[in-house]
Structure 1
């Protein structure tokens, strides 16, 4: 039952790209089903409902009544959920303390309903998405080239710093990792740092160019990883700069999500994950 809740939430996130042909958007129907399933299975308890309700109200108010202050209130609530600071959420454990290579630190994979739900609402209400397949075809080659360059430059720097080393692998849970990383991590983080923060700064400081929003979102992304140490935060800032530049160039959330996912999946499949234990 808990696994079904996570699958429904992932489907709700994907459904944001599905054209709405009904009065109620497909993502909203799937999200309601995911939430009901999560409540029934104990993945989410009643204590979590006020947090998600407040975030939904803040997102809707941002669109209609409080376009200036509303996004920052919504962003604060989303951050509280993403940091697992609101009670009532229980992560679904996929892998516990797995060691993926020699001298590699143990790794735990969890699907967090709170972070993914926050990312879904930020994606729906604040993130600028692609409008057509023609837009994808027009920019796809450039984005792919930038993504490959970003992955190898970022992870190459981590290799030089002794944080990782080459370690090709495909563990049994790799499909679970890639799906959760894309839907529950990359989308949530990019919708917060780029779709909300960087985009709002772009709109406010348009006359000063793109560098100020890029610099601020990059610095905040690095700071969000300080719990892993200064080296980890520094490497995260380098990666965040790539994501921010991708967003500044294309002004579509898919660009930042794609680069983020390429970097993360390259790290997971080709190098020590999460990092060398020494």
Structure 2
């Protein structure tokens, strides 16, 4: 069982993540995007603050500025430039999420240690690189991607009351399947829960949903014009991104695929990235708070 002494909250991350939280909150706000006169200075403050607190080095900051300039050309009238910008937009957030871009301070908040009744060591890390990948994607789709795409990929959302009932039923089904497979209940709340809430919502869920919905799912749908292909294809890639081996891996990956289907379906039906993010976060928080986490199975 962990103790409060096992949790490390590095103070040097607080300025960067404070600015980041404000910036992504503005970018995710439904309706008209915030003025570039507000969001671009916030992005600059985020990079400068991260450099001054030595969370990133100057080369990383310069690379991110360069990446932003390239990605801003996704609607260029020149096809080679436009193609390169889209490739850059697809690869850079992935590289950041996989921690392949050097110059970031690696920060572990907790672990590796056993959490509750789980038999699998758990590590909670605060990765600014993954978070900045989300910022690049959100900037692109809020300011530089036109709304001339197919109807259910425009900015208008389509959220109806009955959708929440269907999502609630599907969430219950996922946890029921997990329980049947052998994921036991394990109630746990504490200081780590607060750290998990912030990092999982503002880093993990925002970054993953921005990438898999706006980049992957959107691309598959535009190329296939088939909602089912976009949902299944993005869910398979979502599962592949979480691939691992070891005891219980097949069961865990099956549940991840089921959750990926739910996130993709909710986005395809509602066209709301925010809904997909909150759905992803809700499932993760319920799993973390009420079940063995990471999932280990009893047979």
TM band (smaller chain): 0.7 to 0.9
* CA deviation profile, 1:184-230 (whole Å, cap 9, x unmatched): 01111111111111112222322xx2111112101101111113544
Matching residue of 1:37: 49
1:28 and 1:204 map into 2 onto residues whose CA distance is 32
Counterparts of residues 215-234 of structure 1 (less than 5 Å): 215-227=232-244, 229-234=249-254
Matching residue of 2:148: none
Post-superposition, which runs of at least 4 consecutive aligned residues in structure 1 deviate over 6 A?
none
* Unaligned 5+ runs, structure 1: none
Question: Is the 1:218–1:241 Cα contact (8 Å) retained in structure 2?
Answer: yes
Matching residue of 1:107: 122
Counterparts of residues 1-278 of structure 1 (less than 5 Å): 1-17=12-28, 22-24=35-37, 26-65=38-77, 66-68=81-83, 70-126=85-141, 139=159, 141-162=161-182, 164-206=183-225, 209-227=226-244, 229-276=249-296
Give the 3 Å change call, closer, same or farther, for CA 268–175 of structure 1 in structure 2: same
Give the 3 Å change call, closer, same or farther, for CA 231–252 of structure 1 in structure 2: same
Give the 3 Å change call, closer, same or farther, for CA 125–241 of structure 1 in structure 2: same
* 2:55 counterpart SS class: coil
1:72 and 1:214 map into 2 onto residues whose CA distance is 21
Give the 3 Å change call, closer, same or farther, for CA 204–82 of structure 1 in structure 2: same
1:154 and 1:51 map into 2 onto residues whose CA distance is 40
2:171 and 2:178 map into 1 onto residues whose CA distance is 11
* 2:184 counterpart SS class: coil
Give the 3 Å change call, closer, same or farther, for CA 93–248 of structure 1 in structure 2: same
* 2:159 counterpart SS class: helix
Rg bigger for which structure?
2
Does 188-197 or 233-242 show the bigger shift? 233-242
Does 171-180 or 75-84 show the bigger shift? 171-180
Question: Is the 2:188–2:290 Cα contact (8 Å) retained in structure 1?
Answer: yes
CA RMSD of aligned residues (A): 2.5
* 1:64 counterpart SS class: coil
TM-score normalised over the length of structure 1: 0.86
* Unaligned 5+ runs, structure 2: 1-11, 143-152
Question: Is the 1:44–1:88 Cα contact (8 Å) retained in structure 2?
Answer: yes
TM-score normalised over the length of structure 2: 0.80
Does 195-204 or 177-186 show the bigger shift? 195-204
